[in-house]
Amino acid sequence: MTKPSQRAVPLTTPNADGAADAIAHAWAQVGAALSTHPDCPLPNWTGGGDTLHQHLLVIANEHDSDLISQLKHLEVASARFGKVGFVGPATTRRLVEWSMGERVVVLSRVPRDVSDWDLRCSLSSLARTLGPQAAHAHAGRPFLRVAAVPARHWRDRLAAAAQHGFCVGFAGLDALGSVGLTETSLGAPRLTSLAPLVRVPGVSWVPLGREGDGVSDALPPESVDWIDWRTDCDDMADEASLIDNLDLVIALDAGHAHLAEGLGVPVWYLGAPRTALSASARHDDRYDTHFSPERLSHRTDMDDFRPPPVSKDWPGTVDTAAKALLAMATEFQGWTR
């Protein structure tokens, strides 16, 4: 399937309004207070100033659920500073190197000698500190890339293992909690609330995320082509290389929705029962468009999907997605990888 074309969205003109600068400064202060490296001696960047010849160290928090979506702001920062460094969790470093290694220095930790750096900023506050120009950076356009050799590795594995030409990633099963699980006569857990979706014919499913709990390890019916390579993915780079070869990702969690969107892979963000969604997903304006059959049938942009709360018919949401998926699977009949 052809990936969505990049939509050219011009950057907004920086706003010199004093109130905007004050807000950016306040967010920078919050970011500094919540930094995982409070002992870093570098002064915190609060926005503005002549930074073209300065070096900025951006520090990420591994517990930030929005980390992947925030990576796009590193490129905006690299255009503002003479050099930008990134200190982040091991699971994201290789992906950042692949995606923007020519513009961003990837570090495993804050250097003991910081004499080569002038300022620091937390990744979580970088967008607000950059100001309005960062608001639409990469809006709707891919900002993550994978290396050719790993991408080919997963492409070859899919070609050999998939029973169908239509390969769909299924992410965030752990977000379901205990909802929808029943025990079969054989004692194997089944995702009954998702049955209409996973039983769509002509689909090879690739679960994404981490194993380790009864929900995410639940098995679909034997008739479903379920290709589980989660234990082979050691970091975000491995997952990204696999996702880059998929035709669609259906995400129940915001993190994988952001990852697929960043790669330019079509994604349907169904969410999960509202009690299981992260705070970032509940309050992210991008998920404010109501879920509808018409949108699901004709659009694959994650911005057009927002799950209704469970009380507003979660089964109906799954049924709607299943019908749209069946239409796509029909188009893929006879196609081989």
Q: Quick one: 123 and 156 in the same domain?
A: no
| DSSP letter for each residue of 256-303 | HHHHHHHHT--EEE----GGGS-HHHHH-GGG-SPP-HHHHHH---GG
Alpha helices in the chain (DSSP H): 18-33, 67-70, 73-80, 90-100, 123-130, 148-161, 195-198, 236-243, 254-263, 279-283, 293-298, 314-331
Enclosing domain of residue 126: 35-136
What does each of the 337 residues of the chain score in pLDDT, given as a tens digit? 444 333 333 333 444 456 666 665 565 555 544 445 557 889 999 998 899 999 999 999 888 878 999 999 999 999 999 999 999 999 999 999 999 999 999 999 999 999 999 999 999 999 999 988 776 766 668 999 999 999 999 999 999 999 999 999 999 887 665 344 444 332 334 467 788 999 999 999 999 998 755 555 566 777 899 999 999 999 999 999 999 999 999 998 889 999 999 999 999 988 654 433 333 333 343 333 233 333 333 334 434 434 434 436 778 888 999 999 999 999 988 777 7
Question: pTM for the complete prediction?
Answer: 0.75
**Domain presence at residue 78:** yes
Last residue of a domain, one of 136, 164, 198: 136
At 261, phi and psi to the nearest 5? -60, -40
Residues in the chain: 337
d(Cα 207, Cα 230) in Å, to the nearest integer? 7
Q: Using an 8 Å Cβ cutoff, are 130 and 79 in contact?
A: no
d(Cα 337, Cα 332) in Å, to the nearest integer? 11
Q: Quick one: 92 and 233 in the same domain?
A: no
d(Cα 88, Cα 232) in Å, to the nearest integer? 22
Q: Quick one: 104 and 217 in the same domain?
A: no
Query: Is the alpha carbon torsion for 43, 47, 50, 52 positive or negative?
Result: positive
